[in-house]
A = this chain, B = another copy of it.
Amino acid sequence: MELLHVTFIGGDSGGWRLTGTPFRIGEPLPAVGRIAMVEGRVAGGIWKLRGVTSNARYVNRAERDTLRAAQAGLGRPEATCAALIPIAKSPAWWELAQDERRAIFEDRSQHVAATLRFLPAIARRLHHSRDLGEPFDFLTWFEYAPEHAAMFDELVGLLRATEEWQYVIREVDLRLERD
């Protein structure tokens, strides 16, 4: 489980073309036409968001095994749609203890249980940003085929209705299409 440092570069180059920003909480990001997802630290672009794939913070062993068995990897040829959703949670969230955050995340918001049925159609990779001193706490990257676009809207709509999302103070839903 190697940690992967990833930079998302918003600008006018990169393999993913912005098709829309259907949802936002808080301050927007400067407008860009394209996003590149690259490994490591890089220069260029209008904005850059950095994150690192790290150990999961909330899922228990059973949930993790279920997720691993069900999930698809990135880069499937048919998955020509993507979404980059940077999120920041409130100071009140980070002030909670581990058991309180876990209770909101899964026991009451069912972040895992309620979203399992979207796998493997929707592939997902989570990047942690908060400890890196970044403006967002997480950068989640999703990939899916065009025929699953409505399913993806259902997934994010479901999460945004949870108790967990009451702690989200900034979110930008960037939808993308691969060239």
Asked if A70 is at the interface (CB within 8 A of a chain B CB), the reply is: no
Q: Which residue of B lies closest to A52 (CB)?
A: B131
Report if A98-B131 is in contact (Cβ < 8 Å); known contacts: A1-B91, A91-B1: no
Within 8 Å by CB of A54, from B60, B97, B130, lies B130
Say whether A99 contacts B60, CB under 8 Å: yes
Residues of B near A54 (CB, < 8 A) are: 130-131
Bound together, the chains give a CA A100 to CA B94 distance in angstroms of 22
Residues of B near A63 (CB, < 8 A) are: 97
Bound together, the chains give a CA A1 to CA B130 distance in angstroms of 13
Say whether A133 contacts B61, CB under 8 Å: no
Copies in the complex: 2
Asked if A95 is at the interface (CB within 8 A of a chain B CB), the reply is: yes
Docked complex: A115-148 residues within 8 A CB-CB of B:
128, 130-133
Cross-chain pairs A/B with CB under 8 angstroms, 24 sampled: A1-B94, A1-B95, A3-B130, A3-B133, A5-B133, A52-B133, A54-B130, A54-B131, A56-B98, A57-B57, A57-B98, A58-B98, A59-B97, A59-B98, A60-B97, A60-B98, A60-B99, A60-B100, A61-B100, A63-B97, A64-B97, A98-B102, A131-B132, A132-B132
